[in-house]
Chains A and B, each alone.
Chain A
Amino acid sequence: MGNEKKLNLGGQEFESRLLVGTGKFSSVAVMIEAIKASGAQLVTVALRRFNRERPSDDLLGPLAKLGITLVPNTSGARNAAEAVRAAMLGRELSGSRFVKVEIHPNPHHLMPDPLETFEASKQLAKEGFIVLPYMSADPVLAKRLEDVGCAAVMPLGSAIGSGHGLSTAAMVRMIIADSGIPVIVDAGLRAPSEAAAAMEMGCGAVLVNSAIAAAGDPVAMAAAFAVAVKAGTAARQAGLMTQSDTAVATSPLTSFLSGNQA
């Protein structure tokens, strides 16, 4: 799915194949500059209870000015019913049909619950949402999520916020090989080279949050990810060379310096 010019999600097209999250930034100002530097057109946000003590904490205002599409997540939901409610609340605020289904009841590893994720995704796709489910890198589940109408699947590279990179590479390759919808690696990426590798494999996009927000210079790192995703996409489209188990010479091997030529 990495061979089309634009990323197509639920019939909507995007130039940028880098999605970014808005968590963990040191300030709203840094977050806004990082989003601009990333060139991202799809940006994830979470829901939380309105705080009377800090009414100005809201992110909707600053993000609305960027002309991006918001993708509310369902973080905090422990089951499908809660995720569906969170998605509906998110849609009220974002005005977009996009939702990132995210159901990870165990705070230790934050691994997505496959059964609840499947159920919530199925219901939300029926309701007309553009559903992007965060999931384990499981090719069987990926196909099932595609079958119930998800616009993409988002297998994890490694645990959320861990920075362990694309440890699921082999499984992600299998998902891509069978998928009729874009595959977006979400979670665990740390270095831009990992994002480039995901794109070279044929991912439709990558979603990055911690790697940018927790970088020494988040704005510069956002720009670095943008370049890496473009390079990986271009490499995929150019077609990587075939691998060989033996050396394949790039220079002529005739030994004209030996003096014993026939």
Chain B
Amino acid sequence: MTITVNGNKYEHHGDGRVDQLLAELGSNPDAVAIMVNDQVIPKIERMGVVLKDGDRVEVLSFMGGG
């Protein structure tokens, strides 16, 4: 399915589970926060979220800031 990840088109070949997408992206699941279609997905609810074609996913991590 085709989704948007951090503003870029992304072809996801798995079953749409968020944890599978994170593994595909090579991110540490404990070090990222997720938003799907502008909705914040709490870590404990990630397992229950299944992405569908056209979804917009934001994967965020901490960087330096004041």
Given contacts A50-B27, A55-B27, A85-B40, contact A90 B64 (CB under 8 A): no
Q: Are A47 and B61 in contact (CB under 8 A)?
A: yes
**Of A25, A50, A161, which contacts B61 at CB under 8 A?**
A50
In whole angstroms, how far apart are the Cα atoms of A116 and B60 in the complex? 23
Of chain A, the residue at the smallest CB distance from B22 is A50
Given contacts A55-B26, A73-B65, contact A50 B40 (CB under 8 A): no
**Of A47, A49, A73, which contacts B7 at CB under 8 A?**
A49
Q: Is B42 an interface residue (CB 8 A)?
A: yes
Q: Are B65 and A23 in contact (CB under 8 A)?
A: yes
Given contacts A55-B28, A92-B40, contact A63 B62 (CB under 8 A): yes
Q: Is B59 an interface residue (CB 8 A)?
A: yes
**Of A46, A52, A85, A89, which contacts B64 at CB under 8 A?**
A46
**Which B residues lie within 8 Å of A58 (CB)?**
28, 31, 61-62
**Which A residues lie within 8 Å of B65 (CB)?**
21-23, 44-47, 73, 75
Of chain B, the residue at the smallest CB distance from A20 is B66
In whole angstroms, how far apart are the Cα atoms of A73 and B62 in the complex? 10
**Which A residues lie within 8 Å of B6 (CB)?**
49-50
In whole angstroms, how far apart are the Cα atoms of A72 and B65 in the complex? 8
In whole angstroms, how far apart are the Cα atoms of A90 and B62 in the complex? 8
**Of B30, B38, B59, B66, which contacts A50 at CB under 8 A?**
B59
Per-residue contact bits, chain B 13-45, to A (CB 8 Å; 1 contact, 0 not): 000000000000111101111110010101100
Q: Is A38 an interface residue (CB 8 A)?
A: no
Q: Are B31 and A47 in contact (CB under 8 A)?
A: no
In whole angstroms, how far apart are the Cα atoms of A52 and B63 in the complex? 14
Per-residue contact bits, chain B 44-66, to A (CB 8 Å; 1 contact, 0 not): 00000000000000111111111
Q: Are A93 and B38 in contact (CB under 8 A)?
A: no
Q: Are A52 and B43 in contact (CB under 8 A)?
A: no
In whole angstroms, how far apart are the Cα atoms of A21 and B63 in the complex? 11
**Of B32, B35, B42, B62, which contacts A46 at CB under 8 A?**
B62
**Which A residues lie within 8 Å of B34 (CB)?**
92
Of chain A, the residue at the smallest CB distance from B10 is A52
Q: How far is the CB of A46 from chain B (nearest CB, A)?
A: 3
B interface residues, Cβ below 8 angstroms from A: 6-7, 25-28, 30-35, 38, 40, 42-43, 58-66
Smallest CB-CB A-B distances: 3 pairs:
A46-B65, A21-B66, A209-B66
Q: List 12 A-B contacts (CB under 8 A).
A: A22-B65, A24-B66, A46-B63, A50-B59, A50-B60, A59-B64, A60-B61, A85-B35, A85-B38, A85-B40, A92-B40, A210-B66
